[in-house]
């Protein structure tokens, strides 16, 4: 990371689904233009297997992602914080150097009910909603 490389931190409560979907999509969209990470206010300690599966369907590998606590980033210069659920927005501290904050809530696919295919469909829907928002954001900051 060069001094000019900005750190974008995506926060969610459990850091198991939505934040990893967003991290993978934004990292793929931005390439080396920024450092993208995710964390949670109450991390589960795992990345949901179905999140990994639906990201692989669009060619993004998040198998090496880990569930982390937002405290790991309190001493880092975080340029932008993006919360993807209401609880994380409420629990979000201000980070050193933070220049921007966005709150874009999405449904929690980990709470989806139904059979395996219905749950997978929810994961895909949320992934696609996140993809639209975060790819648009990547285009916006690439221009700015």
Residue 17: active-site member: no
Residue 85: active-site member: yes
Residue 12: active-site member: yes
Of the residues 85, 110, 126, 130, only one is catalytic, namely 85
Of the residues 28, 81, 92, 110, only one is catalytic, namely 92
Residue 27 CA neighbour count, 13 Å, CB half: 19
Strand order from edge to edge, sheet including 34-40: 34-40, 6-12, 80-83, 100-103
Q: Helix or strand or coil: residue 14?
A: coil
Of the residues 8, 10, 12, 54, only one is catalytic, namely 12
Active site amino acids: 12, 85, 92
């Amino acid at each position: 990371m060069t001094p000019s490389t900005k750190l974008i931190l995506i926060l969610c409560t459990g850091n198991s689904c939505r934040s990893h979907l967003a991290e993978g999509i934004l990292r793929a969209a931005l390439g080396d233009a920024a450092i993208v990470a995710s964390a949670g206010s109450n991390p589960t300690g795992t990345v949901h297997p179905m999140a990994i599966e639906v990201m692989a369907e669009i060619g993004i590998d998040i198998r090496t992602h880990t569930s982390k606590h937002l405290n790991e980033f309190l001493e880092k210069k975080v340029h932008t914080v993006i919360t993807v659920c209401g609880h994380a927005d409420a629990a979000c501290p201000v980070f050193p150097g933070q220049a921007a904050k966005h709150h874009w809530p999405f449904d929690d696919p980990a709470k989806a009910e139904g059979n395996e295919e219905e749950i997978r469909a929810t994961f895909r829907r949320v992934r696609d909603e996140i993809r639209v928002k975060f790819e648009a954001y990547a285009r916006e900051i690439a221009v700015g």
